[in-house]
Amino acid sequence: MLAVLAPGQGSQKPGFLAPWLELPGAESRLRWWSALAGVDLIHLGTEADAEEIKDTARTQPLLVAASLLAAEHLPMHDVALVAGHSVGELGASALAEVLSGETAITLAGVRGREMAAACALDPTGMSAVLGGDADEVVEAIARHGLHPANRNGAGQIVAAGALDALAKFAEEPPASARVRALQVAGAFHTPYMAPAEQALAAMAGGVTTTDPARILLSDMDGAAVIHGREMLQRLVRQVTSPVRWDLCMRTMRDLGVTGIVELPPAGTLAGLIKRELKGDGAPEIVTLNTPADLPAARDLIARHGMAPTHEPTPLFWVVVANSAGMFRPVDGLAEGDTIAVGQAVGQVMTRQGSVEVTAHAAGVLTEWLASDDDPVAPGQPVARIGGPS
């Protein structure tokens, strides 16, 4: 299985988009997206220095634009799974066809501006916690009145909150852990971003979505999201919710991902995955940073992606679990019963509670693919629904 990943804020580098401007149509595309985002993406991606592209309002649409621009040159029809880190989820949602590219760019512009404005309200920041026991680190973060904003796996958790609390936390680090202050504008993915979430929610109400065309993972819990409207709601809530990239990597491992392409500016997510998903079965990774990397990325997709087929499309759909846990079918629902769109067919029991599993197509329940109390992973089929006869 092949996954394409979109990186988040902090991965940008001065001039990283310059080589892509040499491709036909790239400059005009970026000019159009600049109008939607309200920033000059060409200047930011080619001439701006590190300080300028550190600005949240500028960086977020720049990163989404970079992912979409590079993905246009990949055979995405052979890609089974997409995911993004933080603002990268907007790019991933467009690659899953939940959002149009224009919508993703526009939302990134709003998200960046509103998060920058929220950062100006209170003196806040973020610090990386490297090493230590994960549970002990999270407990220590909470004890200092801070929030675990990012749980990136591979021994990396990011604490966020008030600057004075972060300073005290650095003086009293958890056992066997190092604390390093990050050069960011504020406490992203915490309640401090509530004004930005509200602004994004107000705009999201007018956005049109479609259901994902491929597996789309959510940063909130690593779940495979199967409804476009739900993904949009998660994108809004993610502004104040922790990024659980550790759970996204766990889902990729559980689903058997064997190949990964990281979109530009690539390297950050590849590094996390190499440290977390190592040993036998570790995925092969291509970091796509310039057009010169496109042949390697296309080759990886050809070898690990979904093979094209000329067989007729089967007249059935599968219902998949959207979380990891134990599956429980709805009482009394049996093979041969008629299923409506949006009807619940079961629940996945997780540590955080039950998560409803619903059908995204109408038809007849032809076969259960998971039984009562079977362990399931995100994206795993649990039932087959036949089309109208």
Q: What is the CATH number of the domain that holds 141?
A: 3.30.70.250
Statement: residue 200 has pLDDT above 90: yes
Residues above pLDDT 90, as percent of the chain: 75
Cα distances from 383 to residues 215, 328, 351, in angstroms, run: 17, 12, 23
Residue 300 lies in a domain: yes
User: Are 113 and 209 in the same domain?
Assistant: yes
| Whether the bond into 19 is cis, omega within 30 of 0 | no
Q: Where are any strands of DSSP class E within the chain?
A: 2-6, 81-84, 124-131, 147-153, 156-162, 177-181, 215-216, 259-262, 284-287, 316-320, 325-329, 338-339, 344-350, 353-358, 363-368, 374-376, 381-386
Residue 336 lies in a domain: yes
Statement: residue 313 has pLDDT above 50: no
**Residue 316 three-state SS:** strand
Helix axes 228-237 and 194-204, enclosed angle (nearest 10): 150
Query: Tens digit of pLDDT for each residue in 317-343?
Result: 778 887 778 999 999 999 999 998 889
For residue 48, give its domain range. 2-118+191-304
Q: Given the residues 189, 218, 304, 323, select the one marked as catalytic.
A: 189
User: Are 131 and 103 in the same domain?
Assistant: no
Statement: residue 306 has pLDDT above 50: yes
Q: Given the residues 11, 67, 86, 323, select the one marked as catalytic.
A: 86
User: Are 96 and 137 in the same domain?
Assistant: no
Angle at 363 between CA 361 and CA 366, to 5 degrees: 115
Q: What is the pLDDT of residue 312?
A: 44
Q: Is 181 left (phi over 0), alpha (psi -120 to 50) or beta?
A: beta
User: Are 38 and 65 in the same domain?
Assistant: yes
Q: What is the pLDDT of residue 147?
A: 95
User: Are 232 and 351 in the same domain?
Assistant: no
Look over the chain and give the mean of its residue pLDDT values, rounded to a whole number: 91
Q: Which amino acid is at 86?
A: S
| 132: enclosing H helix or E strand | none
Specify the range with the lowest mean pLDDT, choosing from 138-152, 192-206, 227-241, 364-378: 364-378
User: Are 96 and 175 in the same domain?
Assistant: no
Statement: residue 314 has pLDDT above 90: no
Whole-number Å distance between alpha carbons of 137 and 338: 49
Q: What is the pLDDT of residue 308?
A: 42
| 220: enclosing H helix or E strand | none
Indicate the Cα dihedral angle 241, 247, 248, 252, nearest 10°.
Answer: -170
Q: What is the pLDDT of residue 380?
A: 77
Query: Tens digit of pLDDT for each residue in 340-377?
Result: 888 999 999 988 788 888 887 788 998 898 889 888 87
Statement: residue 387 has pLDDT above 70: no
User: Are 222 and 341 in the same domain?
Assistant: no
Statement: residue 229 has pLDDT above 50: yes
Say whether 189 is catalytic: yes
Q: What is the pLDDT of residue 319?
A: 82
Mean pLDDT (whole number) for 190-202: 95
User: Are 228 and 257 in the same domain?
Assistant: yes
User: Are 342 and 199 in the same domain?
Assistant: no
Residue 186 lies in a domain: no
Query: Tens digit of pLDDT for each residue in 2-45?
Result: 999 999 998 999 999 999 999 999 999 999 999 999 999 999 99
DSSP 341: T
User: Are 219 and 276 in the same domain?
Assistant: yes
User: Are 104 and 46 in the same domain?
Assistant: yes
Q: Report the range out of 132-136, 159-163, 352-356 with the highest average pLDDT.
A: 159-163
pTM of the model: 0.80
Say whether 100 is catalytic: no
